Chains A and B, each alone.
Chain A
Amino acid sequence: MSKKTATKSERRPEPSSFRWFFGHVFSLLRRHGANVVMWSVLGWTAHEVALVFIAYAGKASVADLTLRILANVSVVWSLSLTLSGVSVSLYVRERRLHRKTRERLTARITELEIKIDPKRTSSLLTSQGTTRKGDE
């Protein structure tokens, strides 16, 4: 009993409501701040684009507008976008290969290291070297 009392007295005092509230606000901000900013910008952009298309409503059909836009697309722009697309897909393919290689080699290296150091600690990434779901 006395031990319990001692443990209780050793505990840190509860934070004030002000600290508790703002502590949680900052905790949420740290976790989701970047996403909030990104989605806000995307939302605003979509809103602005919608305003432009609303201006055409009733004055031009979607098919007519699409054809006229496509007719104005420059060759240089099309080529640039194609090249970017190919580059990105090559990067994604290369990354997938890297992850497969990591997955193939990790288990063997871990097994060999545990033989040398049985208390070996791990970074707890996935076998592909990516962040675990719970750690995101």
Chain B
Amino acid sequence: MIGIGALTLAVQVGICVVVFSFVLLKFLADLRLDEFRQQMFIVRDELFDYAATGNVSFDEGSYRLLRKSMNGFIRYGHQLTFFRLCVTMIELKIHGKTSESKWTEDWLQSLQKVRDDEVRTALEQFHERAMTCVAERVIFGSPVLISLVLCSVPILVARLGWQNLKQIRIKAPFFTLSHVLDTRIIENEAAAA
């Protein structure tokens, strides 16, 4: 039979593990979700302001598609985890559903209809920012993907050079995610919400 000292230590460790698990699984998870939604709201609000100043019409297909996708990400942000995405990909294969990329096709078509190059670039940047938020949300919630990001940094450094470290920090999550999962499916699922 174990002594009272060891038992006390076991109880202490047990309580610590319970408290730590609660903080990690509940509070940290909630905080990360709020942070993701906040970031996405910022991009969506800036897109709205961009349209409100007359750069792009509110009825423009590309604007509506972009907003719809951001709304989907905000609404279903809690489902954006590596585990869920992997199971979704497997589920799609098991169900025999083809790789849906309707949103991507519509988005590319609507972008081609935008005549002003500057507006097109701005819309692409909004899309890139939204996808960076998504990538950060998925990547930094999984220890496996965090280690993959660390591996992708040297590749990006080789491609972009040392002078663009800030860009590497921004691009690394999306670069990793796009090599692990099909981001078109994520966008399509969000827009279908």
Contact = CB atoms under 8 A, between A and B. Distances in A.
Contacts of B37: 125, 129
Given A34-B83, A59-B1, A135-B76, A77 B12 contact: yes
Interface string A13-43: 0010001001100110110011000100000
Contacts, number: 100
Which has the most chain B C-beta neighbours within 10 Å: A49, A65, A72, A120?
A72
Contacts of A95: 30, 34
A26 B74 contact: no
A49 to B, nearest CB: 6
Contacts of A113: 48
A59 B51 CA distance: 76
Nearest to B86: A30
Contact of B91 (A26, A88, A117): A26
A124 B96 contact: no
B69 to A, nearest CB: 11
B94 A124 contact: no
Category for how many chain A residues contact B: 35 or more
A84 interface: yes
A55 interface: yes
Interface residues of B, number: 46
A116 B96 CA distance: 43
A123 B74 contact: yes
A84 B19 contact: yes
B96 to A, nearest CB: 6
Contacts of A34: 81, 83
Given A26-B90, A33-B87, A125 B74 contact: yes
A73 interface: yes
Contacts of B59: 119
B14 interface: yes
Given A26-B94, A125-B74, A72 B8 contact: yes
Interface string B117-153: 0000000000000000000000000000000000000
A101 interface: no
Given A122-B71, A125-B37, A52 B7 contact: yes
A125 B75 contact: yes
Contacts of B52: 116-117
Given A81-B19, A121-B67, A129-B37, A73 B8 contact: yes
Given A69-B4, A72-B4, A131-B78, A29 B71 contact: no
Nearest to A85: B19
Given A33-B83, A45-B14, A116-B52, A23 B94 contact: yes
A29 B44 CA distance: 32
Nearest to A123: B74
7 contacts: A23-B94, A27-B91, A30-B87, A113-B48, A117-B51, A117-B52, A123-B75
Interface of A: 15, 19, 22-23, 26-27, 29-30, 33-34, 38, 45, 49, 52, 55-56, 59, 65, 68-69, 72-74, 77, 81, 84, 88, 91-92, 95, 98, 113, 116-117, 119-125, 129, 131-132, 135-136
